[in-house]
Structure 1
Amino acid sequence: MSFTLAIVGRPNVGKSTLFNRLVGRRLALVDDQPGVTRDLREGDAKLGPIKFTIIDTAGLEEATDESLQGRMRMLTERAVDMADVCLFMIDARSGVLPADRVFAEILRKKSARVILVANKAEGNAGETGYYDAFSLGLGEPIRLSGEHGEGMIDLQEVLMPISKEFESRQIEPETDVVIEALDDDDDGEEITFSKSRPLQLSVVGRPNAGKSTLINQILGEDRMLTGPEAGITRDSISINHEWDGVPMRLWDTAGMRKKAKVQEKLEKLSVSDGLRAVKFSEVVVILLDAEIPFEQQDLRIADLAEREGRAVVVAVNKWDIENEKQEKLKDIREKFTRLLPQLRGAPLVTISAKTGRGMDRLHAAILQAHKIWNRRISTSALNRWLIDMLDAHPPPAPGGRRIRLRYMTQVKTRPPSFVIMCSHPDLLPTSYSRYLVNGMREDFDMPGTPIRVFMRSQSDKNPYADKKEKKVTKLNKHLEGRYRKSAGRGVKPKK
C-alpha cells in the first residue's frame, strides 16, 4: 500500500459508511445510532487506480480521559499519529458544530495532511453546511455522500498527488515461516506462513472475559479499547501481526451472551460479526474467566467452534488473581473433560492477559493445534488401524443384519475428515462412530481437533454381476439374429 489514511470526526457523521465503500465490503458495523464504532478498524482500500490502507475510528467526543468516550478519543488520536493522511469528516446537514471547531484545531496541530470532507451533502439539505466548512480553516472541503457514492471522483483527485508522493517508499520483502503441517491441497507439503498467507486466529468468549486485553498483550500495545465495562467491543476487528516470528491475522470479537438476552439490533449485529470471524478462522481461542469458567454460554461457544470444524485452544484468563491455583485447575480440567467430550484432549492453557503470564504456552498450543488440524494419515495405516478396531469391538448387527466396514481413507484435512465404505451405513449407531473417533484421537495423536467420519454405502452385490448380465444378453441377441437369418434360408443353424 502507498499510504495510510485515517477517517476521523464526530459520532454518526458517516465514517464507517465511507470506510465500507472504499474497502468494497461491509466490514464495519453501520447503524443510525451514534457511537457504533469504538475500536480502530483497518482495511485495504481502492479508489480508482489508488490503493491505500484506511483506518476507521471512533467518533470524537469531549469527555474525561477516564471515561469510555475519553478512552475512545485517545485511541482515535493514536490513529491520527499513525496515519500519513487524516480525513476530517463533518455532517453537512447538521453544519459546523462547536465540537467540530475544537477537533479541527487539534488535527491542525497533530497531522501534516488533513483533508476536509462534508458528508451527507447530496441535494440542497447539505448546501449550508458545505459552505460553513470553509470557516474551519482546513482548505476547500470536498462535497461527498458516502452512502450514495457522490463526490468520489473529487476525493480521488485530491488523493492522487499524495499517492504518487508515497509510491517511492521501499517495501520490505516478505520472510516466510515454515510450519510442519499439511494443507488440503498440499498432500504432504509443509505450510508456509507469510504476510500474504498468515495463520488466521480468532479470540471468542463471553463479555468481559478479557479478549481485547489478550489481543493488546499479543500486539505489545494498547490497540484495542479495554476497560471494566462489559461489552465494549462491538466490531470483529482483524489485525495483521507477527507473533514470535509467525505471521498471524488476529480477530478480536464482541462478547457473546445468551441468545435470549440479546435484544438490541446493534448487539445482534455484533454477535453475527463474531460468528463470521469464527468461520474465517483456522484456530479459535476460547477465552474463559477463571472466576466463572464453563458457564452455559462458554459451552455453546465451544460447541460452535467444533461444529464449524476449527482447531480449538481453551485459555483460562485472569489466572494471576486466583488464590487456590492447583485446586482450581483440577476442577477446570474435570469440567472440561465432562462437559466438552467432543473436544477431548484440546489444549487447556492458564494465562493472564493483563500481566502476560502464560503467553509463550498459549503461542505453542496454537501452533500445535494448527498442526494437528492439518494432519494427514496414509490409507494403509488407516486400514490396518480399522482392522484392529473391528477385532477389538465389532459393530452391532441390528435386526440380525451384519454391518461390514470394509475400507477407510482420508478425504481432506482442516479438519481431518475420513470416509468408511460399509454395508448398511444407515443402521450403524452414532455410538460406534464415536468409538472410532475416540480411537483415532488416541492412536493417531489428534487430541482436541474436530474429526469428521462419514459412512458410505457399499453393497454386498457382486460388482461384476451387471457386466456379466450385459454380456449374456448381448450374446443371446447375437444368436437370435443368426437363427432368424438361417431360418429365412431354410437352414438350421449350428448351436
Structure 2
Amino acid sequence: MSILPVVAIVGRPNVGKSTLFNRLAGKKLALVDDLPGVTRDRREGEGRLFDLDFRIVDTAGFEEADPDTLPGRMRAQTEAALGEADVVLFLIDARAGVTPLDKTIAQWLRVQPRPVILVANKVEGRATSEAGLSESYELGLDEPVAFSAEHGEGMVELYDALRPYIDAFVEARQIEAAEDAEGEDSADGPLKLAIIGRPNAGKSTLINQLLGQERLITGPEAGITRDSISIDWEWQGRAVRLIDTAGLRRKAKVTEKLEKLSAADTRRAVDFAEVVVLLLDATLGLEAQDLRIADMALTEGRAFIIALNKWDVAHDQSRLFQGVQAALEEGLAQIKGVPLLTVSGKTGKGLDTLMKVAFEAREKWSRRVGTSTLNRWFEKAIDKNPPPAPGGRRIKLRYITQAKTRPPTFIVFGNRLDELPESYRRYLVNALRTGLDFDGVPIRLNLRSRTNPFDR
C-alpha cells in the first residue's frame, strides 16, 4: 500500500479541480470539459510538484443536495475523500469571485481536522481575477494561492504552501514506511483487475460489494461512472488494484464528447490491467456488444474472465447459463476455455470464486514454460498432426521457444512457414492451451523462417 501523503482537491462544480488534478499528476488522467459535474467518483493518482511526491485525489463538485439523489451521493464521496486526506486544496474560481456555495464549503472545511490550503484558480487574466482574490479573504482560510491550473502559473507558490505539510507527514511516517517496505513481497505485485462491460451491468456495485463500502457511486441511472477509477484493496491478504470503468456502448450510439472520452479511458484501463472481467447483465443475456468488448480485451492480450452478474434475479438460470456458454464458444472462437462465472454484486454471491479465478488467470498469463518441456510437447503435437505439404513440398517445423509472458508469446522456427495455413496455426495455439494448461489465456504465436541466402 502507498505510504505517500494524500492531497484532496475540493470545491464547487466547474472551478477546475480535474484540470489541477491532471496538472499535478503530470498527465491527463481525469476527464475535463466546460460542462459542470463531469467528475462523479473520486479519482486518485500519483502527484508530483517539483520534489514533493503525494497521492492526489480529485473529487466531484460539492453541492447541497438530498443524500438519495445523484448529486447527494457525489457529495458523500467528497466527504469520504476528505476523511482520508492529509491536506486539502480548496479551489475557488477567482474570475467568478466568492459565491454563497464557496462560503458554505469554507465553513464546513474550517471545522474539519485537516489543514486546508485555499487556491484561487483561473488567475491567468489578473485584471479579471483581482476582485475574486480580494474576496477570498472573507473565507477565513489564510492567504490564497493565486494559481492557473490551465497554464501552470503559481506552481512555486503552491509548492511553498504544500511543503510544510508534506515534510511533516514524511518525517512522521519514515519509520513506519521502512517497516512496511521490508514486509512487502516485491516478487508478487498487486493484481491489476479491471471490470468492464456495457452501461448498467453493475460494475460499480460489484466493486463496492468487494470493498464492503459505498466507495463508488451507484444507482439506477445508466452511465454514472465516467472516469476509470483505480482502488487499492486486499483480498485474503493479497494486494489487489481494482479498476472500475465506464460502460461501453456501440460506437454508433456514442455521440457526446464526454462519452467518447470515457470510452477511451476504459480502453486505457484495459491496457493497464493484468486480468479483465467482462461483466454481463444476466437479466439481459449476451448481446453483440458484449462480444465486441471481449474482443477488445483479448486483442490487447489480457487474461480474461466473463461473469454473469445479477444472478440472484435471473430467470431459468440453467438454460441461461448454457445458452451464454454456447454463444461464447461460437462468438469467441479465437480463445477456448474462458472462465464463465455467476456472481451477484448486490448479495456478494460468487465474488470469492471470482477473485480466486482472477489470481489463477494471472498466474497462467505470467507463466513461462521451459524450452525442453516446450519442445517435447511440440514434437508430440507435430507427430499427432503433421503440417501439410502444399504443392508436394513439406513444411518443416524445427523447434519452438517462449519469447515472453503476459501474454504468453511463442515463436516457431522452421522452413517455408509463409505457406503454413492459418488452420494449422490455430491447431498449434489450441494444442498449447490444452497441453500446457493455458486455458482461457490469450496466446500469441509467431512464425520465423530461416533466411535462404540463395533466394535472390
Both proteins in one fold, TM over 0.5: yes
Matched with 1:447 is 439
Tell me the C-alpha RMSD between the 2 structures. Answer: 2.0
Q: Distance in 1 between matches of 2:367 and 2:50?
A: 43
In the other structure, the counterpart of 1:379 is 371
Match of 1:137 in 2: 140
Q: Measure the CA separation in 1 of the matches of 2:84 and 2:349.
A: 29
Q: Which residue of 2 aligns with 1:416?
A: 408
**Offset of residue 381 of structure 1:** 2.7
Q: Are the aligned partners of 2:47 and 2:55 in contact in 1 as well (CA < 8 Å)?
A: yes
2:335 alignment partner, one of 335, 340, 343: 343
Question: SS of the counterpart of 2:215?
Answer: coil
Secondary structure at the aligned position of 2:172 is classed as: coil
TM (norm. structure 1) is 0.86
**Are 1:126 and 2:109 counterparts?**
no
The residue that corresponds to 1:492 in the other structure is: none
Give the Cα–Cα distance (whole angstroms) in 2 for the partners of residues 98 and 86 of structure 1.
Answer: 20
Tell me the amino acid that sits aligned with residue 266 of structure 1.
L
TM-fit CA distance, 1:294: 2.4
Identity %: 55
- How far the C-alpha of 1:362 sits from its partner, in A, is 0.5
When the two structures are superposed, what TM-score results if normalisation uses the length of structure 2? 0.93
Give 1:40's aligned residue: 42
Asked if the contact 1:29/1:36 (under 8 Å) is kept, the reply is yes
What does residue 384 of structure 2 align with? 392
Deviation of 1:2 (Å): 5.2
SS of the equivalent of 1:272 reads: helix
Q: CA deviation at 1:352?
A: 0.7
Quote the Cα distance in structure 2 between the aligned partners of 1:176 and 1:323. 47
1:311 is matched with: 303
Query: Shift of the alpha carbon at 1:111?
Result: 4.2
For 1:341, what is the secondary structure of its paired residue?
Answer: coil
Distance across 1 between alignment mates of 2:336 and 2:123: 57
Show the counterpart of 1:181.
none
DSSP-derived class of the 1:212 partner: helix
Structure 1 residue aligned with 2:152? 149
Inter-CA distance 288–402: structure 2 relative to 1 (3 Å threshold): same
5+ residue gaps, structure 1, are 179-190, 467-495
Change (3 A) 1:312 1:177: farther
**How big is each residue's C-alpha offset from its partner over 1:107-139, in whole Å with a ceiling of 9 and x where there is no partner?**
222344222111101221111111111112222
1:165: which partner in 2?
A: 168
Alpha-carbon offset, residue 142 of structure 1: 1.6
CA contact (8 A) 2:191 2:359 kept: no
For 2:167 and 2:369, how far apart are their aligned partners in 1? 52
Structure 2, unaligned stretches of length 5 or more? none
Is 1:69 equivalent to 2:60 in the alignment? no
Query: What's the CA shift for 1:175?
Result: 6.7
CA contact 1:347–1:369 (8 Å) conserved in 2: no
Partners of 1:373 and 1:79 in 2: how far apart? 35
User: How far is 1:95 from its partner?
Assistant: 0.9
Equivalent position of 1:431 in the other structure:
423
CA distance in 1, matches of 2:413, 2:386: 15
The 1:173/1:102 distance shift into structure 2, 3 A limit, reads: same
What SS does structure 2 have at the residue aligned with 1:241? Answer: strand
Per-residue CA deviations over 1:459-495 (Å, capped at 9, x if unaligned) read 6x6x9x99xxxxxxxxxxxxxxxxxxxxxxxxxxxxx
Q: Residue in 2 aligned with 1:192?
A: 187
Kept in 1, the 8 Å contact 2:92–2:121? The answer is yes
Indicate how the Cα distance of structure 1 residues 312 and 175 shifts in structure 2: closer, same or farther if over 3 A, else same.
Answer: farther
- Secondary structure at the counterpart of residue 232 of structure 2: strand
Q: 8 Å contact 1:176–1:192 — kept in the other structure?
A: no
